[in-house]
Structure 1
């Protein structure tokens, strides 16, 4: 039985496309030299397929694969995760830091072939789950794609004159409320991203926690670390419009006064393969 593998390479990145071609060839012949049972049925994303003349499909169409390999930076992996849900992902790091992508390009062939062999033997991967965040409106009918990094609620725009009054309630109690650019709720994975740029704390990836961080608040409270089961409610008012944004990409316009809740999404992201060295990666942060 072939293992079904999808490969997604960073857009317009020849190095990523070349590695995708190497992985495809290696898996189709059964490892380097064809000496193993690590054969696989492989498809690549559409742009990569055009570049390397290989079988291709849309990334969203890879949700039924046994494994999807993401080649690029954390942004590429975030994109893949949005498209394929809880399908197991292996991240190969071509970026600067690579908190989510643990595998170096030089190790990619060995790691991927080992994973394929293991799956053939056990019909399963040892995956670690990363929580994603869902945002739910109080009095409206819309939804956003779950966020692996953070949910942001902010006023019409960032900067002078663009904020709103934003109240944050934690388990029903008022934690913070003032004029601010916005507020974000981050996962441990997202603590190293937008949260960090807003002076929120770093959270170790194995911690079971969320972070609530205000953005340029006039009467600011310190960032708050909470249990993932905490009830978080955000109300935005005193503005003509506002936005709820998932991972900096998917957004929904709000009509203040508007209230949303942020909670753990039903489907986590599942990562396979070796873990990255979180502490060592911190040295690469500017």
Structure 2
């Protein structure tokens, strides 16, 4: 049995809780891998986050940003989120229940072969033969933001034209990501059980509203800009030179989130 722990960097509370979880699991004979920054803070040997895919369970301690970071390294390994943030749409476990909840999921792995999990979709962006790492929240295709910036964009959804005009960019989000960047750009909230994508034009000159659609593929064509970028979850970036085309579809491997179910509507109460 191998459990990875990724804690919010530079946060003493997260590091302390990671230490508590580590010590409890080690007493149960579980091999525990700490991410390098947390291990350094605690005086232990660390492991790169991109090797957490070798674990049976990955525990993320922090906010949603920490879980996004952990998920990139976890790949197909299940991730359980402990919420130290304000909202926590991805982290269902409160810190005071973290040790006991992790223990229960480890017991489930030992008896059933896997923890309780729910799957959430991830997005894949491909341009000019290059594919970005899967994005859990959103993929953004944009030119330079601000006055005089942006680009001409054309959006096709499953081959049908949806939008043509000038915009700062186009944001394509999963239901999970509807509560993140999409929301700040005026996009709608989408319940995580809805099988859909959200397409939102960012500061567009056209009046087309954000769209919630059950689609297999979104194609964004970018012209009339010196440079543009494709950004996944605010973390991975690929520079493109217009005219360029970006294809966004569902990644073949969804993320498995372990642990208790998320209380979506309770989390909504914490939004400003």
Q: TM-score, normalised by structure 1?
A: 0.93
1:73 and 1:232 map into 2 onto residues whose CA distance is: 29
The alignment status of 1:126 with 2:116, answered yes or no, reads yes
**Which residue matches 1:141?**
129
**Which residue matches 1:93?**
83
Give the alignment partner of residue 249 of structure 1, picking from 231, 235, 243: 235
- In structure 1, list runs of 5 or more residues that go unmatched: 31-38
2:269 and 2:204 map into 1 onto residues whose CA distance is: 29
Post-superposition Cα deviations, 1:233-253, rounded to whole Å, max 9, x if no partner, equal: 110101111111111111111
**Which residue matches 1:51?**
41
Contact 2:34 2:45 (8 Å CA) reproduced:
yes
1:60 and 1:170 map into 2 onto residues whose CA distance is: 33
Deviation at 1:150, TM superposition (A): 0.4
**Which residue matches 2:268?**
282
2:103 and 2:73 map into 1 onto residues whose CA distance is: 24
Deviation at 1:122, TM superposition (A): 1.5
Contact 1:136 1:262 (8 Å CA) reproduced:
yes
1:10 and 1:113 map into 2 onto residues whose CA distance is: 21
For 1:136, what is the secondary structure of its paired residue?
Answer: strand
**Runs of 4+ residues over 4 Å off in structure 1:** none
- In structure 2, list runs of 5 or more residues that go unmatched: none
Deviation at 1:228, TM superposition (A): 4.1
Contact 1:128 1:270 (8 Å CA) reproduced:
yes
**Which residue matches 2:3?**
5
For 2:271, what is the secondary structure of its paired residue?
Answer: coil
Deviation at 1:61, TM superposition (A): 1.4
**Which residue matches 1:62?**
52
Matches within 5 A, 1:144-163: 144-155=132-143, 157-163=144-150
Root-mean-square deviation (Å): 1.1
231-240 vs 102-111, greater mean Cα deviation: 231-240
Deviation at 1:75, TM superposition (A): 0.2
Q: Which has the larger radius of gyration?
A: 1
Post-superposition Cα deviations, 1:194-234, rounded to whole Å, max 9, x if no partner, equal: 100011000001111110000000113111111142x3111
2:108 and 2:132 map into 1 onto residues whose CA distance is: 35
Deviation at 1:266, TM superposition (A): 1.1
The alignment status of 1:218 with 2:180, answered yes or no, reads no
Q: TM-score, normalised by structure 2?
A: 0.97
**Which residue matches 1:80?**
70
Contact 2:106 2:115 (8 Å CA) reproduced:
no
Post-superposition Cα deviations, 1:10-33, rounded to whole Å, max 9, x if no partner, equal: 001000000011111111113xxx
Post-superposition Cα deviations, 1:149-175, rounded to whole Å, max 9, x if no partner, equal: 0000111x1111111111101122211
Aligned pairs, how many? 272
2:245 and 2:239 map into 1 onto residues whose CA distance is: 12
The alignment status of 1:21 with 2:8, answered yes or no, reads no
